[in-house]
Structure formats: structure tokens, C-alpha cells
């Protein structure tokens, strides 16, 4: 086990940075807390170049943007595993997303490993290395951190450089490196690094199962909830749960009245009722509600069958090419392609176009498109 201390002094941190700054590849992992806040709270960052390993305290009153600028504002390869939340924190610290990110979890999806495979599981499958996860539930804000906690954190980066080299070599050997790079670039570009409150309703998982009128109210309340959570920096569910939003919306359609949960200490009940009602009244004036939402049409029921047929075809292609089907054909992408008749969809363009039979796609989708 490597003995590492938590770096808590500026000169210690800068001294470590000077050891790794000229490395062409560095591995990064970040420990954070997000139990009682809307935004993640950075606590510790682990950095390794394969030989030098550091664990840096992120709770200090330091300008980390300046400290890290020579590492992240360069062309070196930054290796992470399951990078989404780590990049969110780096964006908070740096104000930008570093270039040349290589996500070992994402790469593994192109090489026959389980979709979204965990770091410990991947290390065990590739190298037979057992990663101790006993400190997984650590409160990373608490100081001092124990030797066990620090070692646990550093273990998440000490093997990443080698893992990058081996996965990258396999991507090159299987001629999937282009697929990986294109899809990962799309993944990064699709993420909204600053919260878009007006699109907060997209987080409601069951929204597409609701009728149009209920859905419109859900959108209004979801946006209001998001703004409240951001302003108070608390989890959105502390304001209102998804289930509560849907129930309130359905009740409004029946009773034409906003009935929010009472005795919630995170918002003023009367003011919240008024704010939401005013937004609804304005939209009602614009006639967003239908008198009769109606039943699902024959086209919509047929649409689901075609989507399933398309998904089955892409799943077969994924098996033939040893690529995770969740990467090759996300259901959201399939639904969007069918709904919009999108000839520019990634589903049938880019790297996927090299794997699929476009005539087969046409034979599956044509009956649905003709029906419309």
C-alpha cells in the first residue's frame, strides 16, 4: 500500500504539481459531497502520472484555478473513470472543461465490458486487481481524513494510467478508436455545464407518460422547483419530490387550483402558491391547454412497436461488434429519430453508419413513416 498524506499547504501542493506538470498523461479522480446541497462540494482531488501520486485538499481558501492551470490548460491526456461528475467539479474550479479527456468507463463500453462498469469491477476484470471500497461512504468534508481514507482515494488513480494505455491500445487494435472519440466528443458536447432552469422538467422521468395538460403543469412546477433549489443550494427533492409535482399537476387539471405541500420549511407556502399560479394564468391566456387531450392514436401505439424493432436490430449489431448496446443505440436517440424523422440523427450517421445496414433500417421504419 502506498503511503500518501493529504496535501493541505499551498507550497506542498505546488511542489507536487511541479513533479507531474510535464507528464503527457495524468489520471484524475475527485471526491465530493452532495448530500445537502444542489451543487457538488469539492473535497479532495487525486492526481497521478503513473509514478507520482498526490491527494490534494480542495476545501482550502486557495485559488485552485491558478494552481491547476498548468496541468489542465494543456494538451496532455487527462484520464478519468466515469467522468461526468468529476468534470462538473473541474468546470466549477477552472471555468472550462479540459481537452483530451479519456474516460476508461466509456472506452470499456466499446470493448465488450458491461455498460457503465465501475472502476473496481473493471480493474478486477482486466488485471485481477482488487480495489478496496470499504471507505466508499466517507464524509470527505470531515477533517482530518484517516490514512485509510486517503489511501482509498489514491487507489482510484494509481492504476488509471496503465488502464488508459491498455484500453487505448485495444481500441486501436480493434479499429474502434474513431468510434470512441466521436461518441465521447458528442457526450461532452451534449452536457449543459451550467444548469438550464427552463429545461428542468426534462429530469422528470415519467413526464412522457402524462397527457399534454398535466405535462404543461409539471413543466411549470419543475422550473420553479429548480430555481428554488439553486437559490438555496439545496437538493431539489427537499423542495418537492417528482411524485409530488405530478400529483399537484394532476390535481390542478381537475380542480384548477395549485395545492402545494404544506409545512415545508424550504419555501413560503403562500408566496409559492401565488408564483406558480401566476405563471399558469399567463400560459392559460396563451391557450396552452386542450379541451380534450384524447386517447393515444393508432400511430402512437404503432410507434412503440417500430421503436422496439429498431432497438432489437441495433442490439444485434452491438453484439456482433462487441459494443455496449446502450452506447450504440440509446432508446432516447431511437425515439427522437422516429418522432422527428431525422435524417441527420446520429443513429444513422457518423460512426454508427459504418456498422448498420441502412436498407434494413428503412425496412423497419418505412411502415411507420408511411402511416404518418
Write the pLDDT tens digit of every residue in 286-309.
655 555 444 444 446 678 889 999
Topology alike, domains 197-285 and 298-371: yes
Rounded CA-CA distance 241/218 in Å is 12
Task: Give residue limits of the domains in the chain.
Answer: 6-190, 197-285, 298-371
Residue pair 18/67 in contact by the 8 Å Cβ criterion: no
- For residue range 107-142, list pLDDT tens digits in order: 999 999 999 999 999 999 999 999 888 888 899 999
Rounded CA-CA distance 45/8 in Å is 12
Q: Does residue 281 have a pLDDT over 90?
A: no
- Band the pLDDT of 283: cuts 50, 70, 90: confident
- Percent of the chain scoring above 70 in pLDDT: 94
Fold of 6-190: Nucleotidyltransferase; domain 5 (3.30.420)
Distance of CA 187 to CAs 96, 182, 190, 295, 362, Å?
A: 16, 9, 5, 36, 26
Query: What confidence score (pLDDT) does residue 296 get?
Result: 44
Average pLDDT over residues 179-203: 92
pTM over cut 0.85: yes
CATH superfamily of 197-285: HRDC domain (1.10.150.80)
From edge to edge, which strands make up the β-sheet containing 41-48? 6-7, 53-57, 41-48, 25-33, 77-80, 101-103
Give the alpha-carbon dihedral of 30, 34, 39, 44, to 10 degrees: -30
CB-neighbour burial class of residue 197 (10 A; exposed 0-12, middle 13-18, buried 19+): middle
Residue pair 84/184 in contact by the 8 Å Cβ criterion: no
The listed CATH number (3.30.465.10, 3.10.310.50, 1.10.10.10, 1.10.150.80) that belongs to domain 298-371: 1.10.150.80
Average pLDDT over residues 356-372: 83
Amino acid at each position: 500500500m502506498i503511503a500518501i498524506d493529504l496535501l493541505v499547504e499551498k507550497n506542498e501542493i505546488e511542489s507536487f504539481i511541479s513533479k507531474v506538470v510535464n507528464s503527457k498523461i495524468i489520471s484524475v479522480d475527485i471526491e465530493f459531497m452532495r448530500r445537502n446541497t444542489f451543487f457538488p462540494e469539492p473535497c479532495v482531488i487525486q492526481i497521478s502520472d503513473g509514478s507520482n501520486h498526490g491527494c490534494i485538499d480542495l476545501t482550502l481558501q486557495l485559488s485552485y484555478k491558478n494552481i491547476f492551470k498548468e496541468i489542465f490548460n494543456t494538451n496532455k491526456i487527462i484520464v478519468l473513470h466515469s467522468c461526468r461528475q468529476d468534470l462538473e467539479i473541474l468546470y466549477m474550479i477552472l471555468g472550462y472543461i479540459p481537452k483530451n479527456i479519456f474516460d476508461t468507463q466509456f472506452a470499456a463500453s466499446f470493448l465488450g465490458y458491461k455498460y457503465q462498469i465501475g472502476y473496481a469491477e473493471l480493474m478486477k476484470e482486466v488485471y485481477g486487481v482488487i480495489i478496496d471500497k470499504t471507505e466508499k461512504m466517507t464524509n470527505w468534508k470531515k477533517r482530518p481524513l484517516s490514512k485509510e481514507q486517503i489511501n482509498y482515494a489514491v487507489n482510484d488513480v494509481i492504476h488509471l494510467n496503465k488502464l488508459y494505455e491498455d484500453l487505448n491500445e485495444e481500441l486501436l487494435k480493434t479499429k474502434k478508436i474513431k468510434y470512441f472519440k466521436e461518441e465521447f466528443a458528442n457526450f461532452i458536447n451534449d452536457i449543459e455545464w451550467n444548469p438550464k432552469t427552463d429545461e428542468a422538467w426534462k429530469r422528470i422521468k415519467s413526464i412522457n407518460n402524462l397527457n399534454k395538460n398535466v405535462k404543461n403543469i409539471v413543466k411549470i412546477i419543475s422550473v420553479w422547483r429548480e430555481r428554488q433549489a439553486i437559490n438555496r443550494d439545496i437538493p431539489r427533492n427537499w423542495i418537492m419530490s417528482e411524485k409530488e409535482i405530478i400529483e399537484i399537476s394532476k390535481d390542478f387539471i381537475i380542480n384548477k387550483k395549485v395545492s402545494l405541500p404544506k409545512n415545508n420549511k424550504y419555501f413560503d407556502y403562500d408566496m409559492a402558491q401565488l408564483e406558480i399560479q401566476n405563471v399558469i394564468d399567463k400560459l392559460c391566456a396563451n391557450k396552452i391547454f386542450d379541451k380534450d387531450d384524447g386517447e393515444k392514436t393508432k400511430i402512437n401505439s404503432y410507434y412503440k412497436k417500430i421503436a422496439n424493432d429498431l432497438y432489437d436490430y441495433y442490439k444485434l449489431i452491438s453484439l456482433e461488434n462487441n459494443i455496449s448496446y446502450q452506447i450504440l443505440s440509446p432508446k432516447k436517440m431511437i425515439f427522437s429519430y422516429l418522432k422527428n424523422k431525422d435524417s441527420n440523427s446520429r443513429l444513422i450517421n457518423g460512426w454508427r453508419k459504418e456498422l448498420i445496414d441502412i436498407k434494413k433500417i428503412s425496412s423497419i421504419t418505412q411502415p411507420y413513416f408511411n402511416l404518418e
